[in-house]
Amino acid sequence: MTNFQESKEYKDRLEKIEKIKNILTNWNPLGEQAKSVSDLDNYDTEANDIYFHFVSEIDFQKSKNPLKRIQTITKEVLNEAFNLWLSDKECEKPAKNIMEILK
């Protein structure tokens, strides 16, 4: 284990990602289709991607409306990962829950 893996920052990040996973799993935007995704792992990759995009400005620049930003990140990550067509409205509630974790 590296020093970083023992740091509070790393542990906080893992805790936040786990909470995002729980939100995505409970929401389950894939519905019944989730059973057929062999490597879904409770939306682990997508939770990591949402967290990464929130803390970076590579693809989604920070704005005056962080909730809208989280909503857009959530929608884009899930749509791209699973070839979905989620709308902003469909992502609104999970984005609010995710925002509570990331603020």
Give the pLDDT confidence score for residue 5 in this predicted structure: 79
Q: Domain 4-29+40-102, what fold?
A: Endonuclease III; domain 1 (1.10.340)
> Distance between CA 34 and CA 70 in Å, rounded?
22
Dihedral sign, Cα of residue 23, residue 26, residue 28, residue 33 = positive
Residue 79, both tokens: 């749509």
Looking at residue 6, its pLDDT comes to 84
Q: What is the pLDDT of residue 27?
A: 98
- pLDDT at residue number 40: 93
What's the pLDDT score for residue 82?
96
DSSP per position, the chain = --TGGGSHHHHHHHHHHHHHHHHHHHH-TTGGGGGG-TT-GGGHHHHHHHHHHHH--SSS---S-HHHHHHHHHHHHHHHHHT----HHHHHHHHHHHHHHH-
* pLDDT tens digit at each of 103 positions of the chain: 678 778 898 899 999 999 999 999 999 999 999 999 988 999 999 999 999 999 997 777 788 889 999 999 999 999 999 999 999 999 999 999 999 999 8
Contacts of 84 (CB under 8 A, 6+ apart): 29, 30, 78
